[in-house]
């Protein structure tokens, strides 16, 4: 018997263990009953201690894992060496109570545990007693909350207690002095989410941005457009849609995030975290079908490759084909990812990822505005051409290294290559006569757009104590190199080869005047690269006071060369900035945290701005003040965050106040916008069978410096009030195991359509619903589900593309979705 943390004589340890074993052999049936009673009592004792610990236990030998567990939890662990030494551990990372951590750490092994004292735990081999009486025992009902790993495919929980996006460390959300929200896989499955915007509706202060129908992901966070800057596993992936088939969860960090991630818009960061290889085999196949000829097939398979579990894999595939409630608009996507994890040693892991996406769709510019509202035409009406198309191919490869020098210090490094290629032909509106309904149109054809990027990061993370104060230090750096080459043809009326005008009330389609073989006349070459170095220290004093101090130096260059219809242009910028953020969090009890932060961020270069003489081309900057409170209840099953923020974006380029200079295309950097608001997020399980995720945001985002004509106006596409609630109930307590029902309500107040506030997108109130059934046959689970989106078929609008009166995108009409899924 080995006892962690305290030394005992070998004779005493052996005698204690042998005594227990002898007693069990003599009284098998009685021992089982006593053991059940002891486990029940032990569970009661353990659950009474709701303190949450942060575990970071590497995969490897179980004996080493139990020692690490003991060091973190301050519990004495007793176990027989000959039983534990040959057992492998999958490791444990995240925030758990001691009871939850023990269950998870021993999951899948042949070991169990007993609480034998206030601070003592005995781990032993599970014994299967041979009952003398073959009579079947009466059925027993086990009551309690199941404990799942955060990456378990069967995990039904709506909340997560940890997130890495806010700090690049696995820090409990209750100890993070920033607003960070997580939407896990269970929510996506229950809502049958297909696009990222189906996920972000569950997070306060995140609203849909322009996307050309299906081309890319774009959002407004805390009032500011992120400009397609969505991250995948910490890597920037602009200009594309992201398949959810390989997504484990979505994390959203609110406010300026440039201290850790480089140049970003100040509203925040959306990070899509992908599924990782598991050491336990899991396979699933799902077929979805729905309105507008939607068919989506997805496959997920993972598990160990070798017997020792040192090499594991994951493969995800999605094929999506659908039309739209919009005439002539369609979408087809093939997405596949392969991930391999190799545990080289107990301390070293290498991950290799590859993903490919082929995406073909018809782009959509929406409908125009008449007066102060979108035109009163059928929302299905399309004003492009039926032969418009976009074809996209995306390749991404990543190699990642994790190495633990010891229990306290580790290094993480990765290198990612991104390659995106586009061919398209797009018809777009140029001008619109609101009286007659006639729309003048142009078109462009790009063959090809070629984008390539290299992105690398390295982080050293260490933990140490100084005079009783705990430090969690992160030292890191990143480098990004991006190149885009665009060759295209422009079809515009003054050149005599544009698409014919169209009347929105009686459209007639004809693009025969567009000759795609015409010589290309527009060339763009864009390059940007940056490197950044950063230092962050998370300080903990007396387990209640948490401080975060961070700073970053950025050095960024951009350049562009163009030939636009014979007009040559060139532009270069070189910016160097220091970003900083400070946070403080006080946790007077395990279930509540009070926090505040101050952040200064480096947003983006004003790379394509032409200034009048005498002005310096300064980059966009931002700063934020934020205070909030976080709560966590019911054994960490339910979490909530309430936040107030004050965020300012500076050095926004605007047309020059001198009209003569403005007519020459010159700008000045006097623009400033301020966003203030309150955000509330709530997610988790009210009971074991009742799950909920809800959010609300009040956002007051206004122009505070600009030309007088729009000073004080609201920024577009962001409602003053918006939010929603989704809830699901399982009917296991009503003798209907497997049946569940879900209901969602989402709302928004009016949104301004442009910076001049010349038109508005009406507010809306939308209802969604779901009905599901799951049945388990042996080790296989079969699930069926039926969802309705926009149950009441409300007419409303998602966004004004490019903040323009010509491009308002209608939201989907009533949509039905069904699915059949098998898991084993």
* DSSP per-residue codes, 209-254: ---TTTT---EEETTEE-TT-EEETTEE--SS---STTEEEEEEEE
In the predicted structure, residue 814 carries a pLDDT above the cut 90: yes
Task: Report the distance separating Cα 769 and Cα 749, nearest Å.
Answer: 22
Task: Report the distance separating Cα 386 and Cα 388, nearest Å.
Answer: 6
Helix and strand element counts for the chain (H, E)? 9, 47
Which of the residue ranges 144-148, 323-327, 477-481 would you say has the lowest mean pLDDT?
Answer: 144-148
Tokens matching residue 232: 């995948």
Half-sphere exposure of 35 (CA within 13 A, CB side): 19
Mean pLDDT of 12-24: 39
Angle between helices 28-48 and 10-26 (to 10 degrees): 120
Which of the residue ranges 483-492, 609-618, 755-764 would you say has the lowest mean pLDDT?
Answer: 609-618
| pLDDT band, very low/low/confident/very high, at 464 (cuts 50, 70, 90) | very high
Mean pLDDT for the chain overall: 86
Contact at 8 Å (CB) between 483 and 456?
no
Residue 611 has what pLDDT? 66
Task: Report the distance separating Cα 364 and Cα 210, nearest Å.
Answer: 10
Tokens matching residue 517: 């073989």
What contacts 484, CB < 8 A, 6 or more positions away? Answer: 449, 450, 451, 452, 524, 525, 526, 527
Contact at 8 Å (CB) between 365 and 807?
yes
DSSP for 452-476? EEEEEEEEEEEEEEETTEEEEEEEE
| Tokens 């369609």 sit on residue | 330
Pick from 141, 54, 124: which is nearest to 93 by CA?
54
Helices marked H in 456-517 — which ranges? none
Instruction: Spell out the domains of the chain, with CATH numbers in brackets.
Output: 2-125 (3.55.50.30), 162-272 (2.170.130.10), 273-427+452-489+514-823 (2.40.170.20)
Does 713 or 119 have the greater pLDDT score? 713
In the predicted structure, residue 138 carries a pLDDT above the cut 70: no
Residue 127 has what pLDDT? 52
Which of the residue ranges 144-148, 299-303, 681-685, 752-756 would you say has the lowest mean pLDDT?
Answer: 144-148
Pick from 417, 416, 418, 411: which is nearest to 458 by CA?
411
Residue 132 has what pLDDT? 36
Pick from 550, 558, 549, 599: which is nearest to 576 by CA?
558
Mean pLDDT of 207-235: 89
Q: What is the CA radius of gyration of the chain?
A: 29
Contact at 8 Å (CB) between 522 and 487?
yes
For residue 543, is it left (φ>0), alpha (ψ between -120 and 50) or beta? left
Contact at 8 Å (CB) between 77 and 106?
no
Does 511 or 627 have the greater pLDDT score? 627
Burial class of residue 423, CB neighbours in 10 A (0-12, 13-18, 19+):
middle
Residue 657 has what pLDDT? 65
In the predicted structure, residue 7 carries a pLDDT above the cut 60: no
Contact at 8 Å (CB) between 671 and 659?
no
Mean pLDDT of 724-732: 96
| Tokens 């002095």 sit on residue | 177
Tokens matching residue 48: 């009474």
Give bridge partners of residue 370 from the DSSP assignment.
373
Task: Report the distance separating Cα 217 and Cα 229, nearest Å.
Answer: 8
Give bridge partners of residue 747 from the DSSP assignment.
723, 765
What contacts 557, CB < 8 A, 6 or more positions away? Answer: 527, 528, 529, 530, 572, 573, 574, 575
| pLDDT band, very low/low/confident/very high, at 531 (cuts 50, 70, 90) | very high
3-state SS assignment for residue 64: helix
Compute how many other C-beta atoms are within 10 angstroms of the C-beta atom of residue 337.
22
Tokens matching residue 278: 């598991």
Start-to-end C-alpha separation, the chain: 37
In the predicted structure, residue 22 carries a pLDDT above the cut 60: no
Contact at 8 Å (CB) between 428 and 365?
yes
Contact at 8 Å (CB) between 487 and 499?
no
**Tens-place pLDDT, residues 348-360:** 999 999 999 999 9
Residue 410 has what pLDDT? 97
Burial class of residue 773, CB neighbours in 10 A (0-12, 13-18, 19+):
middle
Which of the residue ranges 24-28, 274-278, 673-677 would you say has the lowest mean pLDDT?
Answer: 24-28
Phi and psi at 444, nearest 5°, equal -145, 155
DSSP for 92-143? EEEEE-HHHHHHHHTTTSSEEEEEEETTEEEEEE------SS-SPPPP----
DSSP strand pairing (76-79 vs 120-125) = parallel
Mean pLDDT of 573-580: 89
Tokens matching residue 594: 């009070």
Pick from 757, 759, 788: which is nearest to 771 by CA?
788
**Tens-place pLDDT, residues 418-435:** 999 999 999 999 999 999
What contacts 54, CB < 8 A, 6 or more positions away? Answer: 72, 94, 95, 162, 170, 171, 172, 175
Helix (H) or strand (E) holding 810: strand 808-810
| pLDDT band, very low/low/confident/very high, at 608 (cuts 50, 70, 90) | low
Contact at 8 Å (CB) between 612 and 661?
yes
In the predicted structure, residue 472 carries a pLDDT above the cut 60: yes
In the predicted structure, residue 17 carries a pLDDT above the cut 60: no
Mean pLDDT of 779-799: 96
Tokens matching residue 598: 């101050």
Contact at 8 Å (CB) between 476 and 533?
yes
Residue 669 has what pLDDT? 74
Contact at 8 Å (CB) between 479 and 530?
yes
Mean pLDDT of 639-667: 80
| pLDDT band, very low/low/confident/very high, at 524 (cuts 50, 70, 90) | confident
Helices marked H in 224-302 — which ranges? 258-261
Burial readout 125-138 (b: 16 or more C-beta within 10 A, e: otherwise): eeeeeeeeeeeeee
What contacts 245, CB < 8 A, 6 or more positions away? Answer: 298, 300, 316, 317, 318, 335, 337
Mean pLDDT of 511-524: 74
Task: Report the distance separating Cα 119 and Cα 74, nearest Å.
Answer: 8
Pick from 695, 702, 760: which is nearest to 727 by CA?
695
Task: Report the distance separating Cα 118 and Cα 191, nearest Å.
Answer: 43
The reported pTM is 0.83
Give bridge partners of residue 342 from the DSSP assignment.
311, 350
Residue 11 has what pLDDT? 35
Which of the residue ranges 339-343, 378-382, 484-488 would you say has the lowest mean pLDDT?
Answer: 484-488
| pLDDT band, very low/low/confident/very high, at 72 (cuts 50, 70, 90) | confident
In the predicted structure, residue 16 carries a pLDDT above the cut 80: no
Mean pLDDT of 187-194: 97
Is the link from the previous residue into 448 a cis peptide, with omega within 30 of 0?
Answer: yes
Contact at 8 Å (CB) between 244 and 199?
yes
Which of the residue ranges 187-191, 420-424, 443-447 would you say has the lowest mean pLDDT?
Answer: 443-447
Contact at 8 Å (CB) between 111 and 32?
no
Give bridge partners of residue 415 from the DSSP assignment.
399, 456
DSSP strand pairing (311-323 vs 330-343) = antiparallel
Does 741 or 520 have the greater pLDDT score? 741
Contact at 8 Å (CB) between 240 and 394?
yes
Task: Report the distance separating Cα 796 and Cα 719, nearest Å.
Answer: 13
Residue 24 has what pLDDT? 40
DSSP strand pairing (545-564 vs 180-184) = unpaired
| pLDDT band, very low/low/confident/very high, at 612 (cuts 50, 70, 90) | low
3-state SS assignment for residue 258: helix
3-state SS assignment for residue 260: helix
């Amino acid at each position: 018997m080995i006892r962690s943390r305290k030394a005992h004589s070998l004779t005493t340890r052996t005698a204690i263990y042998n005594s227990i074993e002898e007693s069990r052999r003599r009284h098998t049936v009685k021992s089982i009953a006593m053991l059940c009673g002891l486990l029940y009592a032990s569970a009661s004792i353990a659950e009474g201690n709701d303190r949450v610990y942060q575990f970071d236990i590497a995969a490897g030998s179980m004996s080493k894992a139990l020692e690490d567990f003991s060091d973190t939890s301050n519990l004495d662990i007793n176990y027989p060496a000959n039983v534990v030494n040959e057992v492998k551990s999958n490791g444990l990372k995240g925030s758990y109570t001691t009871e939850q951590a023990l269950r998870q750490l021993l999951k899948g092994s042949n070991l169990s545990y007993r609480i034998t004292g206030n601070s003592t735990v005995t781990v032993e081999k599970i014994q299967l007693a041979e009952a003398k009486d073959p009579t079947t025992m009466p059925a027993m009902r086990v009551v309690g909350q199941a404990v799942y790993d955060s990456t378990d495919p069967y995990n039904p929980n709506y909340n997560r207690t940890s997130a890495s996006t806010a700090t690049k460390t696995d820090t409990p959300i209750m100890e993070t002095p920033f607003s960070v929200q997580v939407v896990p896989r269970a929510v996506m499955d229950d809502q049958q989410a297909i696009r990222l915007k189906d996920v972000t509706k569950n997070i306060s202060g995140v609203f849909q941005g322009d996307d050309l129908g299906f081309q890319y992901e774009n959002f407004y966070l805390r009032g500011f457009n992120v400009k397609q800057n969505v991250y995948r596993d910490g890597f920037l992936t602009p200009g594309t849609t992201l398949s959810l088939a390989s997504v484990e969860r979505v994390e959203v960090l609110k406010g300026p995030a440039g201290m850790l991630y480089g140049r970003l818009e100040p509203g925040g960061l959306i990070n899509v975290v992908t599924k990782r290889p598991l050491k336990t085999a899991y396979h699933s196949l799902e077929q979805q079908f729905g309105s507008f000829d939607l068919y989506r097939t997805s496959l997920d398979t993972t598990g160990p490759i070798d017997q020792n579990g040192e090499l594991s894999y994951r493969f995800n595939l999605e094929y999506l084909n659908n039309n739209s409630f919009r005439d002539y608009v369609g979408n087809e996507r093939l997405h596949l990812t392969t991930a391999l994890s190799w545990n080289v040693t107990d301390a070293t892991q290498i991950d290799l990822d590859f993903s490919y996406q082929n995406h073909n769709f018809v782009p959509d510019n929406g409908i125009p505005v008449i007066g102060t509202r979108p035109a009163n035409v059928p929302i299905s009406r399309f004003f492009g051409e039926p032969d418009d198309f976009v074809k996209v191919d995306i390749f991404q490869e990543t190699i990642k290294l994790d190495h633990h020098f010891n229990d306290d210090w580790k290094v993480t490094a990765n290198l990612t290559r991104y390659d995106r290629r586009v061919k398209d032909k797009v018809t777009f509106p140029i001008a619109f006569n609101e009286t007659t309904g006639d729309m003048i149109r142009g078109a462009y054809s790009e063959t090809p757009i070629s984008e390539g990027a290299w992105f690398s990061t390295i982080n050293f993370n260490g933990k140490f104590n100084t005079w009783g104060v705990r430090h969690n230090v992160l030292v890191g750096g990143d480098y990004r190199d991006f190149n885009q080459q665009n060759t295209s043809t422009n079809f515009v009326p003054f050149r005599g080869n544009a698409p014919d005008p169209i009347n929105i009330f009686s459209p007639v389609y004809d693009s025969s005047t567009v000759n795609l073989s015409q010589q290309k006349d527009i060339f763009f070459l864009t390059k940007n690269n940056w490197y950044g170095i950063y230092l962050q220290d998370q300080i903990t004093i007396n387990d209640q006071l948490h401080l975060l101090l961070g700073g970053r130096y950025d050095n960024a260059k951009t350049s562009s060369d163009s030939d636009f219809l014979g007009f040559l242009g060139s532009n270069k910028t070189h910016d160097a900035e220091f970003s900083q953020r400070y946070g403080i969090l006080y946790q007077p009890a395990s279930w509540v945290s009070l926090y505040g932060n101050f952040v200064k961020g480096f947003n983006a270069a004003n790379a394509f701005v032409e200034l009048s003489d005498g002005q310096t081309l300064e980059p966009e900057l931002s700063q934020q003040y934020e205070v909030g409170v976080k709560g966590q209840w019911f054994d960490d099953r339910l979490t909530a965050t309430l936040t107030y923020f004050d965020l300012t974006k500076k050095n926004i380029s605007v047309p020059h106040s001198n009209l003569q200079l403005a007519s020459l295309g010159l700008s000045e950097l006097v623009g400033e916008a301020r966003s203030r608001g309150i955000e509330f997020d709530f997610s988790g399980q009210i009971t074991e069978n009742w799950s909920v995720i809800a959010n609300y945001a009040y956002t007051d985002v206004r122009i505070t410096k600009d030309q007088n004509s729009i000073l004080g106006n609201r920024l577009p596409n962001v409602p003053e009030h918006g939010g929603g609630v989704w809830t699901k109930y399982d009917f296991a307590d009503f003798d209907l195991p497997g049946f569940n029902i879900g209901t969602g309500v989402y709302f928004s107040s009016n949104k301004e359509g442009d910076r001049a506030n010349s038109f508005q997108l009406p507010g809306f109130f939308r209802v969604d619903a779901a009905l599901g059934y799951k049945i388990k046959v042996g080790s296989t689970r079969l699930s069926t589900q039926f969802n309705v989106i926009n149950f009441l078929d409300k007419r409303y609008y998602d966004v004004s593309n490019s903040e323009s009166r010509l491009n308002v995108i209608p939201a989907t009409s009533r949509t039905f979705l069904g699915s059949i899924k098998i898991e084993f």
